[in-house]
Chains A and B, each alone.
Chain A
């Protein structure tokens, strides 16, 4: 089994991607709604990730 070394950002993006796909697939009723919801979830994950990252950076000085 190969070993992977990913950064915090890469791992977070992958987590957001897979979670958004599953949330999009199971939540809505039409394919169009699923796609839009999945993209929206991914954008929310990214905004939270970058926002919290900046918050921690500013908090630590």
Chain B
């Protein structure tokens, strides 16, 4: 009976603002808040490791920059992708670990890893939102 009540309470839609905000700020945090620790740990591990590998490969952080259409899309898109990593991005910028753009394939892969970590975090945020609103169990 008590287990059923707990399960029902877990499945009820709840306010998603805090969960989405926490998911953005701390990768996997929304899943922990929603009592999905296993999934949260896998998401957090993947996003954090990808971001750290990007930093260790001396990837560049995009800054919003206007120019021709392709430049605007790449720099604004890259900036949004970096920003989607939440606290990882903010700490990197605040603590001065942000790297300038350098030539070389390893640096280039690092830049892509930093953006991809943010994009994976967006997928995690959407997943947490769907769980919070009851669209997914």
Seen from chain A, the residues whose Cβ lies within 8 Å of a Cβ on chain B are: 1-6, 8, 11, 14-15, 18-19, 21-23, 25-26, 29
Contacts and interface: CB of A to CB of B under 8 A. Distances in A.
User: What size tier do the contact residues of chain B reach?
Assistant: 20 to 34
Given A4-B57, A11-B109, A26-B126, 5 more contacts: A1-B55, A8-B105, A19-B46, A21-B43, A29-B137
Interface of B: 39, 42-43, 45-47, 49-50, 53, 55-58, 97, 105-106, 109, 112-113, 116, 120, 123-124, 126-127, 136-137
B123 A1 contact: no
Contacts, number: 61
Helix, strand, loop or mixed for chain B's interface?
helix
B127 A25 contact: yes
